[in-house]
Amino acid sequence: MADPITVEHLSAWLRHFAATVDERHEYLTELDSAIGDADHGVNMTRGMRAVVEKLDAGAPEFADDLFKAVGMALVSSVGGASGPLYGTFFLRLGTKAGHVSEVDASSFGQALRAGLEGVIARGKAEVGDKTMLDAMVPAVEAFERSAADGSGAATAADAAASASEEGRDATEPIVARKGRASYLGDRSVGHLDPGATSTAMLFRSLATALAA
Amino acid sequence: MIGIVVVSHSEPLASAALDLALEMVQDAPPPIALAAGTGDGGTGTDAMRVSEAILSVDGPDGVLVLMDLGSAVLSAEMALEFAEAAGEVRLSPAPLVEGLVAAVVRAAGGASLDEVDREARSAASAKAEQLGGDGGISEPAESSGASDADSADQRLTMVVTLVNEVGLHARPAGMLVKAANDVDATVEVAANGRGPVDAKSVMGLMTLGAARGTELTVTASGPDARRALDAIRELVEDGFGEDR
């Protein structure tokens, strides 16, 4: 069980997420072709491959350096709105986590919160807009709750992953109010949001990496 | 002169919009940089490239950033966090193509960031006006200091008739703006019961909807008022260099 969370855990998280996105990119694109511009799978794959390349070139020793590298790689390689959004998430996460080689569950919860707030500020969206926030907000809240109970990082990450998956599923009946999908209005109903779906993958990858 | 940055998902779109705008300022365009498409030539935006573009045209007069939709806006906002520019950097809410044309012409005349920003913003209302409705958007600005009480100031007025085929469309309007910029005078133009509008505003001039045969009422004040009217009369009578 991973408590404290080490930089190796965090690298494993990112590699697992990259592998998931790679493997499921057709599914993400399929979701995005229903309500967006059909590029979420391709964009996220390109972004996470850039992240993995950076990790391969020499994984940083400290959390802030790691997430700065990740954030910058995403910002400059994704191409779509998920670049600045995920980029901001990781940049803020790293700044809050600080120049440390390991972090406890409670501090990591605070870092996730900082990342989430960055996404809210960047995208100017809220829960119910049918965006990645519908998965990210419940995930971060669940992580914080679980960490406050003292149940450890792996348990908190598992709670976050489950909450993000519920949040993702809840996007299906919603009318989109942000991004390209909002142009579709009522026609966006009946489809999962691609951003919420990739965010649920992100938190499931975290749970997998911390359970190892 | 202020700098201008064009942020688009598409490199061909940005280049074409820029070509269109540059046709109107052939001699002395402002510094302009494009940040369009992904690094590998695909469709998308890249905050780092936006940041580099801003720094490449940065200066004490400031930079106006024009964007297309969605992630172009997010990437531009993100770029503001990276780019440590010397001057003020402002993101324009203007529609990309119309706003760019308006901004480039105005910036080439040496206008401030505030003036260029305002000009770009007016681009959508100018188009609505041209389509015959106000589109719920404000009328062109009223002329200032136009009352008769100002008669101590030298105010010269002339009426000229448009002889060129297409009237006061974008390119002729751009030439008129240049003539107004080249002199030390406040110049206003009215036509069709509309205006007066600032002759340094290409979008303002286009709101007049002045076609061939329209009478323009041109008013100038300031040290070069006479020169301003002479230059504009020459342009109009010459049909702005177009076939008549």
Residues B34, B56: Cα–Cα separation, whole Å: 10
Give the distance, in angstroms, between the CA of residue A129 and the centroid of all CA atoms in the same chain. Answer: 17
- Phi, then psi, of B156 in degrees rounded to 5: -110, 140
For residues B46 and B35, the answer to whether their CB atoms sit within 8 Å is yes
What would the CATH number be for the domain defined by B3-124?
A: 3.40.50.510
State the pLDDT at residue B243: 63
State the pLDDT at residue B140: 42
Q: Cβ atoms within 10 A of the Cβ of B241, count?
A: 11
What is the per-residue pLDDT across B208-222, written as a single tens digit (0 to 9) for each? Answer: 889 999 999 999 999
Per-residue DSSP letter, B156: E
What is the per-residue pLDDT across B68-114, written as a single tens digit (0 to 9) for each? Answer: 988 999 999 999 988 889 999 999 999 999 999 999 999 998 999 99
Residue B46: list chain A partners with CB under 8 A.
Answer: 75-77, 79, 83
Would you name the residues of B annotated as active-site residues?
9
B135: pLDDT strictly greater than 50? no
Q: Is B30 helix (H, G, I), strand (E, B) or coil?
A: coil
Residue of B nearest to A179 (CA): B70
Q: ipTM greater than 0.90, yes or no?
A: no
B139: pLDDT strictly greater than 60? no
Helix boundaries (H) for chain A: 7-23, 25-35, 40-56, 63-77, 82-97, 105-123, 133-148, 153-169, 194-211
Q: Establish, for the pair of chains A and B, how many residue pairs have beta carbons separated by less than 8 Å.
A: 57
Q: In which band, very low, low, confident or very high, does the pLDDT at B193 lie, cut at 50, 70 and 90?
A: confident
Report the share of chain A in percent with pLDDT over 70.
Answer: 99
A 46-75 residues inside an 8 A Cβ radius of B:
46, 72, 75
What is the per-residue pLDDT across A106-135, written as a single tens digit (0 to 9) for each? Answer: 999 999 999 999 999 999 999 999 999 999
State the pLDDT at residue B133: 56
Decide if B38 and A81 are in contact by the 8 Å CB cutoff.
Answer: no
Decide if B48 and A123 are in contact by the 8 Å CB cutoff.
Answer: no
Domain with CATH 3.30.1340.10 in chain B: 156-238
C-alpha separations of B179 from B25, B115, B232 in Å: 12, 18, 7
* Nearest neighbour of A79 by CB, restricted to B46, B77, B78: B46
For residues A36 and A180, the answer to whether their CB atoms sit within 8 Å is yes
Predicted TM-score (pTM) of the model is 0.80
Domain with CATH 3.40.50.510 in chain B: 3-124
State the pLDDT at residue B141: 44
Residue B42: list chain A partners with CB under 8 A.
Answer: 79
Structure tokens at B132: 């015959």
Map out the domains of chain A with their CATH numbers: 5-211 (1.25.40.340)
What's the mean per-residue pLDDT of chain B?
87
Kindly state which CATH superfamily the domain B156-238 is placed in. HPr-like (3.30.1340.10)
State the pLDDT at residue B244: 55
